[in-house]
Amino acid sequence: MLPASLLQAAADTYGTPLYTYDLAELDAALGRVRAAFGDARVYYAMKANPNLTLLRHLHARGVGFDCVSLGEVSRAEHVGARGEHIVINGPAKSAGEYEAGARLGATFIVDREEEVALLPAGARALVRVNPALDISTHDHLATGSTASKFGVTLEQAPRVLQALRDAGHVALGLHVHIGSAIRDAQDFTAAYARLEALRPHTGPLAVLDAGGGWGLGADLPGIAREARKAADVFGAELWVEPGRYLVALSGTLLTRVIGTKRTGRNFCLVDAGMTELIRPMMYGAEHPVTALWDRPAGEGETWDVAGPACESGDILARNQPLADPQRGDLIAVGEAGAYGASMSSPYLTRSRPAEALWDGQAWQLIRRRETPQDLWAAEE
């Protein structure tokens, strides 16, 4: 995390709630990915954080984009990505997504057999396989299990590859993405092993896309070794699609204390909540909470950090050992660069927060705070 004085300065300049990003952390994460995966192609899953400044930065470093909506494809196009720098994922792509992907020469990740007939003529495509495993993550984040709506079965995969070829498309190979925030690296090993078993039925392939899903503490070199081994089985080039791993640590959400109340539990009420960071409420995610003030703590006293929304579930973190929080104090919520700002919502007609980037020299405002007028503009 950046020094408290720098974070204080950003909050004073741009107000709170505020998403801040440290460019050096983003570059460090990309460096770790490149060190582990060597010459694999990296497609950043921009759903994690689609801010244009971050996208431009990654694009300039040769990173491609994994897009899952027309809006995301439009962002990729807007920052200059084309052709081999764009893949389009999703279980139910719209006509607009096929059209934009065809125009830009993107690669489509085919998610079901019926999709072959919907692809634009001569499309480059990978077939997403669901390896049907139990995945060590929150239920909402598991995509490689039988209960998940994603991908074709192992049995269907060779047939879908053949259907692509028969329809005159370019069947590049296979894709597997088993989920997000995966705790146990063995899940990747197991998934790749199931894919490798398809080799006699598929023949050699040009590409194996091993997806993303790496948790923040993941053993990247270990996962990379397994992915590379699987790609080698097919004689394929390796592609990966990290989202969280690239951006999570670079981001910190700054929020100010509005006040406190003691009602049997201690509540520290702050100006950010579920509308700014929904992950604690939606996945039970635990984001590190740091008090950016220096005051003696009450003996063993802990606080529930609660947002301003009129919803009981609007709690950012429970049982935090904050030292006598006071109105105006600043709290930093860490590991918030991924799926923080991108999942923030205008519920309650709350303006989505501003975003600021520390580039090593200065703060830059990379997204202005929305106004209430922004939120109702489409209704006028």
Active site residues: 310
Confirm or reject binding of residue 44 to ligand LLP (CB under 6 A).
Answer: no
Annotated binding site for pyridoxal 5'-phosphate: 213, 241-244, 339
Contacts of 228 (CB under 8 A, 6+ apart): 37, 38, 40, 238
Confirm or reject binding of residue 45 to ligand LLP (CB under 6 A).
Answer: yes
Options 89, 130, 202, 275; binder of ligand LLP; rule CB under 6 A: 89
Nearer Cβ to ligand LLP (339/358) = 339
Stretch in the footprint of ligand LLP (CB under 6 A) among 14-22, 25-33, 238-246, 311-319: 238-246
Q: Return d(Cα 176, Cα 182) in angstroms, integer.
A: 14
Q: Return d(Cα 161, Cα 375) in angstroms, integer.
A: 44
Burial 107-139 (b: 16+ CB within 10 A, else e): bbbbbbbebbeebeeebbbbbbbbbbbebbbbe
Phi, psi (rounded to 5 degrees) for 257: -70, 130
Confirm or reject binding of residue 144 to ligand LLP (CB under 6 A).
Answer: no
Confirm or reject binding of residue 93 to ligand LLP (CB under 6 A).
Answer: no
Helix (H), strand (E) at residue 231 = helix 220-234
Using the structure block, give the residue that is written with the tokens 């709506």. 149
Nearer Cβ to ligand LLP (40/257) = 40
DSSP secondary structure string, 251-299? EEEEEEEEEEEESSSEEEEES--TTT--HHHHH-----EEE-S--PPPT
Confirm or reject binding of residue 275 to ligand LLP (CB under 6 A).
Answer: no
Contacts of 22 (CB under 8 A, 6+ apart): 1, 2, 250, 252, 357, 358
Confirm or reject binding of residue 190 to ligand LLP (CB under 6 A).
Answer: no
Annotated binding site for substrate: 244, 279, 283, 311, 339
Give the torsion sign (CA, 317, 323, 329, 330): negative
* Six-digit token string for 95: 């006509």
Options 64, 242, 273, 308; binder of ligand LLP; rule CB under 6 A: 242
* Six-digit token string for 121: 């003529």
Nearer Cβ to ligand LLP (166/286) = 286
Q: How far is the CB of 240 from ligand LLP (least distance, A)?
A: 9
Stretch in the footprint of ligand LLP (CB under 6 A) among 100-108, 196-204, 207-215, 260-268: 207-215
Q: How far is the CB of 211 from ligand LLP (least distance, A)?
A: 5
Q: Return d(Cα 36, Cα 38) in angstroms, integer.
A: 6
Options 4, 23, 132, 141; binder of ligand LLP; rule CB under 6 A: 141
Options 244, 256, 287, 352; binder of ligand LLP; rule CB under 6 A: 244
In angstroms and rounded to an integer, the radius of gyration of the C-alpha atoms of the chain is: 22
Options 48, 127, 254, 269; binder of ligand LLP; rule CB under 6 A: 48
Confirm or reject binding of residue 185 to ligand LLP (CB under 6 A).
Answer: no
Options 14, 37, 108, 339; binder of ligand LLP; rule CB under 6 A: 339
Confirm or reject binding of residue 323 to ligand LLP (CB under 6 A).
Answer: no
Q: How far is the CB of 281 from ligand LLP (least distance, A)?
A: 11
Stretch in the footprint of ligand LLP (CB under 6 A) among 155-163, 239-247, 286-294, 295-303: 239-247
Alpha carbon separation from 284 to 48, 139, 287, 317, 328 (Å, rounded): 17, 11, 10, 9, 27
Confirm or reject binding of residue 211 to ligand LLP (CB under 6 A).
Answer: yes
Number of residues that bind ligand LLP (CB under 6 A): 22
Nearer Cβ to ligand LLP (137/325) = 137
Give residues 56-85 in contact with ligand LLP (rule: CB under 6 A): 66
Say whether the peptide bond before residue 17 is cis (omega within 30 degrees of 0): yes
Round to the nearest angstrom and report the end-to-end CA distance of the chain. 42
Confirm or reject binding of residue 283 to ligand LLP (CB under 6 A).
Answer: yes
Q: How far is the CB of 47 from ligand LLP (least distance, A)?
A: 6
Q: Return d(Cα 374, Cα 346) in angstroms, integer.
A: 10
Query: Which residue ranges make up the site for ligand LLP (CB under 6 A)?
Result: 45, 47-48, 66, 89, 141, 177, 180-181, 211-214, 241-245, 279, 283, 339, 343
